[in-house]
Structure 1
């Protein structure tokens, strides 16, 4: 392993990225200290790198627990395509293949081994792990999809409980548990079940900024709506259904309408499921229609839309399934079709369960889904509050925030509602409180003598649905609490009393469903779009040659950078985010040849000013003029180049370590605002999220300059810390 002066250098070497995503660096540092860790990081947040990079930097083998064969294969393919020694052992291999891979492990040719939980803790396999520990060293266990260990999680798997044996057998080997979703209850369960020793817990924001969320009423016209949307979309999509029958029916209709779609559910043979999944991942088909059996094994980053044709059973599952969209950070859309009939179907399936505790958990989870589907507030506020994260609302990227709306003062009604909860001694759920408010003659109300309360019947002027809307809003705004033991009893909190004392007002958003498409991030220039399509075709060709998914070669985001910057040398190509040392050597020449051919077709020549990132000579000319005291505007005028081009030159030079004073380029006031935006959004690479956060008041060029300076400062600090630690 080559020595690296900093973690950033190692990151660039192996993965091609210039900087870590929010939270990753600290996790990697703690993993290198051999600590137990619990990582809760949303889909697309970069969980895998958190255990992969430490595995590469530490001696010995890291064992990764993964629940699905397809998931293991995807991750191993991606690692190998970065030149990293990785393998898996599962039931898809014959005896000779298993023996061959075990020999490679014992010969120290493998850094990451992927196995299923039941194989890892089997009496036949543990002795092999003992041998690995003795012969080459065992540096850690990474438990992926760790929520599977908890019965309160959305995908409980009993075999995960057996992993507690790892702590007993290997007490000194650190364990890292990772999952995309986990409530506080599930997090505690994970730590208890896996016997993590004083773990460091990292919970990243669950907010997926790039996803547009919407809920639409389900009707007889829903299929036509789906068909139109698919025909408008260029990228891949997933449609989730509750039953196998619905999957087959919907797939048949789509195929009949000449949509390239395939089904996925437990009723298909293993071979059919594997083949359909492979064809979807490799972009041979556009649409996968599936039950929830399809999802956890999907590592496809460029899914542009996810639709839920039926109501999901729980909010965690919905978050995970919708989160299959936009894992590459690009814009994507998540649509849920909702009908009362679907609610009845889920309730019926809950009644079929024989275990009372399972029924209790399922009812609690369904209530949360209904809160989301029927909610009128920002979808993110409702989603994130489920995971214990506060979000102020007005995300600008969901139907409730993008639809015209009216805000009404419901403070008086809120006082009535909360007073009724208080007078009922905080012992009942929402439906019961509403019955008391509306003067119900329900036998239970009369038996409890709640018809004698002062709040009995004071809410007759509002419908039950209006009171329910208010109750949900109070919960989402944190003005009321609800027990989570399955019975959903309403409880008052300090904010509730502020409302009842008239110290806090309550406003409700009153809005009707109105569809509004999300703003797509499109490549603006037709020429760039043409080149992007050519590069996608080349990527698909290379992927087919190697029998791997296209995204394993390069992500869409990297292809877009190629199309925009149009590098024409290996040196320029290596500067792209997502191009590491291995991929530079493996693919660089082929992509550069394609770019040069395109430029020749378009008669663009080799003029560096046509690309976003110019060659070193033209950048140095800009620097020399800047050093002479010329302003950016004067340099642009003298060189007959755009202002943004000159700003780009200087940003590149800052990242190369040139001593450029930022103050003449970006005012201190603007620097402070941009820094605040970086900290608030957690974005230090993309310019558009910062630009939008600042309400488009600071231009792209200034933001780019500041981010270049900020990243350089971060890198210098990291290297200083590394050197001081060595000293």
Structure 2
């Protein structure tokens, strides 16, 4: 019970959450008990807390191995905000100079640093290994662990040396490996390579029930994309392309067609890429056209569609990229365009690779081809790829295949022929070879194994390749056969397949539709939100949110997220009290941003003579007034804002927002004791004079005028609070 109690206290104190999500609590307890831990959790499932919280609670420093500099910086910034001090988390990578590195090592040695983020390349450097030997390492977290496996979609050789380096640092250091995508093969690779065969596995479902999946034939693709985006006006999306050239071309076409779009790829300089991400977050641009690099380092919850202009190289890549959509649980439309030419291009890319890598790449690509060409539930196929069984009834028509008209065929006899062939031939052949036998396609491997003399040779010719492809794909999805991935896709019988041979029963299979889909095949249907929503009001609220966001220099979703606006369009709150009961609003946001929203809704309700739902469902919201009272009392006692934030388990930035909210609601606070400690008198006077004459209270505008080199955002925000408190209250 000791761990359990302190776990919840620490969760509340550091991250401000009252409850754990999914397996988080069990994962953290396992790691705190010094046991190796393996976590497979989809994007947005809360992986980071699984190692951040135990690191903050453990003696020593946790080493976090992460592949992307942008991701490291993002997480370190967040941890510093939560922890209240810069020394609590650091990163060690190629972006630091010698002075920076010395500072990091001093903080780690003195025991101030609880998490040290390193790239695998930096970890392997001899001077870093020597340094880490001298400190107390609480555990090692390997983030994006699929990079270990050559079967992963982002193979990195440095990841394969991690175990060796850990052994060089010290004995008995627990490891937690985390990934958002891992097939059974990748899982086994990770365990083997990190020598963590006894690790406890925690695996969450990969099902994202709010995402709608569709694959279309690549015909008039740019026209189709423009049409799709125009029919989803006002929503944000990402388009993925394989080449930089195509990225530039499509971004240009979209802009010509009146769609605000920007390109994003590795050929652009770092500042341009950062500006592009900011514009996307701030909704100054609706669409990003990108190579696969985009979206990994940002967390925009309301991306409403992800389009693949080119079919992706792997199912892992496809799952990660479509996973950028609908992270707030709202609508997410995943549209991919498929053509055999794309497949030929991707196959050419692999020509110069070593044989083993080429074979693996071919297998990975074949999964994407099967997914694209099959008429079976898309969700079932995605989840099967990640080793998860799924009944397609649970898809709820959230993919094009489940919505389409299907052609069924009786497959009992054909399935028995395939299963018996696999059994009698000892599981030595892939689907391509077996289909060639059945349709009578004689080639070198067929004659080499004398399969041109096999009783089945040519027996299934009149059924055609599509029939046999459909049957074998579904035999695999329904667990009659499995691919032996270690041996390049050879088909083998499962227990289910063996039982079926001994005890067959009638079975229906779905025939794959030809890829040339008819124009009226449901291709342009867009998944709509709840029919109860008032679309006209929703548009007005979004425009208001954008206007306020611009004024406050905040991303629109920081004001209110989409689900909150949706609920306003069903409940029509016309007072701040009613607004507080809307999902995701609460007292703080209602006070800070709510007035114009309730005014707009009230005027709209009167004009349209709308009957509002009389009984608003009261949702329990966190009691923020108690927090505000406590902050005011602590400020009266002249306790530093950073210390108050730390004691309340909120970040310094959130602390400033709370204090700002208190001041904006009319309470006068004496903050001089803290401001004097943070900013010298001359700089205080300069900011004060600026705000006296400024036309807007924008912090960015102040930074532009006063100089970013001399002031931080927080300095200006703090001075703005003092200014408002003294002159406004």
TM-score, with normalisation over the residues of structure 1? 0.73
CA contact (8 A) 1:237 1:306 kept: yes
CA contact (8 A) 1:77 1:552 kept: no
CA contact (8 A) 2:146 2:179 kept: yes
Does the alignment pair 1:375 with 2:384? no
Cα deviation, residue 369, structure 1: 0.9
Q: Secondary structure at the match of 1:124?
A: helix
Does the alignment pair 1:112 with 2:112? no
Q: Secondary structure at the match of 1:351?
A: coil
Which residue is equivalent to 1:724?
A: none
Which residue is equivalent to 2:428?
A: 427
Q: Secondary structure at the match of 2:155?
A: coil
Does the alignment pair 1:184 with 2:184? yes
Which residue is equivalent to 1:467?
A: 468
Q: Distance in 1 between matches of 2:295 and 2:486?
A: 28
Cα deviation, residue 300, structure 1: 3.0
Which residue is equivalent to 2:160?
A: 161
Cα deviation, residue 554, structure 1: 7.6
Write the mapping of 1:638-717 to structure 2, written as runs, cut at 5 A: 645=616, 648-649=617-618, 652=620
Distance 1:454 1:511, change over 3 A: closer
CA contact (8 A) 1:62 1:139 kept: yes
Q: Distance in 2 between matches of 1:280 and 1:555?
A: 15
Distance 1:503 1:562, change over 3 A: same
Q: Distance in 2 between matches of 1:8 and 1:571?
A: 31
Q: Secondary structure at the match of 1:125?
A: helix
CA contact (8 A) 1:74 1:299 kept: no
Write the mapping of 1:295-314 to structure 2, written as runs, cut at 5 A: 295-314=295-314
Q: Distance in 2 between matches of 1:149 and 1:465?
A: 36
Q: Distance in 2 between matches of 1:12 and 1:50?
A: 14
CA contact (8 A) 1:361 1:486 kept: no
Which residue is equivalent to 1:64?
A: 64
Distance 1:572 1:89, change over 3 A: farther
Q: Distance in 1 between matches of 2:377 and 2:51?
A: 34
Among 518, 525, 533, the alignment partner of 1:524 is 533
Distance 1:103 1:425, change over 3 A: closer
Does the alignment pair 1:445 with 2:446? yes
Which residue is equivalent to 1:496?
A: 497
Does the alignment pair 1:400 with 2:401? yes
CA contact (8 A) 1:152 1:361 kept: yes
Cα deviation, residue 570, structure 1: 11
**Residue by residue, what CA displacement relative to the aligned partner does 1:286-305 show, whole Å, maximum 9, x if unpaired?**
22222223343343333221
Cα deviation, residue 371, structure 1: 1.2
Q: Distance in 2 between matches of 1:122 and 1:554?
A: 46
Cα deviation, residue 456, structure 1: 2.3
Which residue is equivalent to 2:413?
A: 412
**Residue by residue, what CA displacement relative to the aligned partner does 1:507-563 show, whole Å, maximum 9, x if unpaired?**
11246453243343588246566456544654565565xxxx666788655776799
Which residue is equivalent to 2:42?
A: 42
Distance 1:79 1:484, change over 3 A: same
Q: Secondary structure at the match of 1:88?
A: strand
Distance 1:479 1:398, change over 3 A: same
Q: Secondary structure at the match of 1:478?
A: coil
Q: Distance in 2 between matches of 1:551 and 1:232?
A: 22
Cα deviation, residue 317, structure 1: 1.6
CA contact (8 A) 1:523 1:529 kept: no
Which residue is equivalent to 2:26?
A: 26
Q: Distance in 2 between matches of 1:560 and 1:363?
A: 45
CA contact (8 A) 2:564 2:583 kept: yes
Q: Distance in 2 between matches of 1:84 and 1:237?
A: 35
Q: Distance in 1 between matches of 2:622 and 2:284?
A: 43
Which residue is equivalent to 2:91?
A: 88
Gaps (5+ residues) in structure 1?
606-639, 657-727
Q: Distance in 2 between matches of 1:111 and 1:523?
A: 48
Which residue is equivalent to 1:231?
A: 230
Q: Distance in 2 between matches of 1:9 and 1:537?
A: 39
Cα deviation, residue 478, structure 1: 1.2
Q: Distance in 1 between matches of 2:59 and 2:577?
A: 32
Q: Mean Cα displacement is larger for which, 408-417 or 31-40?
A: 408-417
Q: Distance in 2 between matches of 1:4 and 1:565?
A: 41
Q: Secondary structure at the match of 2:316?
A: helix
Q: Distance in 1 between matches of 2:141 and 2:623?
A: 34
Q: Distance in 2 between matches of 1:603 and 1:521?
A: 22
Which residue is equivalent to 2:263?
A: 263
Q: Distance in 1 between matches of 2:561 and 2:175?
A: 30
Q: Secondary structure at the match of 1:457?
A: coil
**Residue by residue, what CA displacement relative to the aligned partner does 1:55-96 show, whole Å, maximum 9, x if unpaired?**
333344333222112112232344455465544344444455
Q: Secondary structure at the match of 2:486?
A: coil
Which residue is equivalent to 2:333?
A: 333
Gaps (5+ residues) in structure 2?
605-610, 625-729
Which residue is equivalent to 1:719?
A: none
Which residue is equivalent to 1:222?
A: 221
Distance 1:246 1:188, change over 3 A: same
Q: Secondary structure at the match of 2:350?
A: helix
Which residue is equivalent to 1:204?
A: 204
Distance 1:593 1:112, change over 3 A: same
**Residue by residue, what CA displacement relative to the aligned partner does 1:555-586 show, whole Å, maximum 9, x if unpaired?**
6557767997979889997x99879xxxx9xx
CA contact (8 A) 2:31 2:54 kept: yes
Q: How many pairs were matched up?
A: 599
Q: Secondary structure at the match of 1:212?
A: strand
Q: Mean Cα displacement is larger for which, 340-349 or 231-240?
A: 231-240
CA contact (8 A) 2:576 2:594 kept: no
Q: Secondary structure at the match of 1:148?
A: helix
**Residue by residue, what CA displacement relative to the aligned partner does 1:149-193 show, whole Å, maximum 9, x if unpaired?**
222211011222332212431324332111101122222222232
Q: Mean Cα displacement is larger for which, 495-504 or 358-367?
A: 495-504
Q: Distance in 2 between matches of 1:74 and 1:653?
A: 28
CA contact (8 A) 1:106 1:132 kept: yes
Q: Distance in 1 between matches of 2:249 and 2:298?
A: 23
Does the alignment pair 1:213 with 2:213? yes
Which residue is equivalent to 1:361?
A: 360
Which residue is equivalent to 2:697?
A: none
Q: Secondary structure at the match of 1:461?
A: helix
